[in-house]
Amino acid sequence: MAGKKMTVIDFQKYKDEGKKFSFVTAYDYTTASIINDSDVEVILVGDSLGMIMLGYDSTVPVTLDDVIHHAKPVVKGAPDKFIIGDMPFGSYNVSIEEAIRNANRMVKETGCDCIKLEGGVEMADTIRALVKAGINVMGHIGMTPQTATSFGGFKVQGGTPESARKLIEDAKALQDAGVFSIVVECVPSVVAKAMQEEVRVPILGIGAGPDVDCQVLVTQDLLGMYGDFKPKFVKQFAHIREEMVRGLNQFHEETISGEFPTPEFSFNKAVDIPKVYGG
Ligand code: KIV
């Protein structure tokens, strides 16, 4: 079921009206078209594609060309959804000029509605310049996968009074720089709640508890498709991997037994094939 496509303005409207919404990832046309048939409002072409689609151990090796390549079919497959292009590591940390050049590429070449980048107060000047250049920017703080090695891996952030306060100040700095919303990943629920109350722009939580404006999950996690690991915050709303393995096994079984294909799945037109003699 597809409703009217959300706009940047709607993000704030939803928060102001206390109306929650949901956002998931997609990296290909078929998945995007399935999400387009659902009630989920927002799609992220995340750099998580490095792990989910390409089998990397982290998001760090993902390139801008990778994300652009995956974002184009998603934009095509989900015309009724708000689509975010994720800026990968190395595409916005060299200089402000390069960040603008790369963000321009993301928006122009894919047709996505905004870009997302990771980082707190240290990214404020870059975000300000991007917004001034006419690009819609979504922030991402808390557990930021691109720089996870600097805090010892994929760990919950904001677990001390000082680090919790720092996260909220980061959110305020992003808001002042002009982001229209902020993804907050892997933080204690009380920290996300305090942030949601102190910051005007919508807070989009992934592993951030219930008191945020929107819930975010990776599609392959929530549908039970990705098999390498399952973070604590992931609820599996379906078990598609098991169903896919079941279907594949049935295809294999019916192939070796000769049960497949029946005439229903064959082209049954009679053709009088001339014989070739002496060939
Ligand atoms: O790349 C991604 O999937 C993300 C989400 C975890 C928010 O950034």
Question: Is 98 marked active-site?
Answer: no
> For the segment 7-25, what is each residue's pLDDT rounded down to a tens digit?
999 999 999 999 999 999 9
Cα 149 to ligand 1 centroid, rounded to whole Å: 16
Using CA atoms, how far apart are residues 188 and 196, in angstroms rounded to an integer? 13
Q: Angle at the Cα of 194 (from 188 to 197), degrees rounded to 5?
A: 140
CA distances from 69 to 45, 109, 111, 154 (A): 10, 9, 12, 26
Please, which residues have CB within 8 angstroms of residue 193's CB and are 6 or more apart in sequence? 209, 211, 212
Cα 97 to ligand 1 centroid, rounded to whole Å: 24
Does residue 1 surpass a pLDDT of 60? Answer: no
Region of 90 (left: φ > 0; alpha: ψ -120 to 50; beta: rest) is left
> For the segment 196-233, what is each residue's pLDDT rounded down to a tens digit?
999 999 999 999 999 999 999 999 999 999 988 899 99
Atom of ligand 1 nearest to the CA of 46: 1
Give the active site residue among 98, 109, 185, 243: 185
CA distances from 261 to 15, 32, 251, 258, 268 (A): 53, 30, 10, 7, 12
Ligand 1 atom 4 nearest Cα: 46
For ligand 1, pick from 27, 54, 86, 146 the residue to mutate: most ligand atoms within 8 Å of CB: 86
Pocket of ligand 1 (CB under 6 A): 25, 44, 46-48, 86, 140, 183, 185, 206, 216, 218
pLDDT of residue 279: 60
* Percentage with pLDDT > 70 across the chain: 99
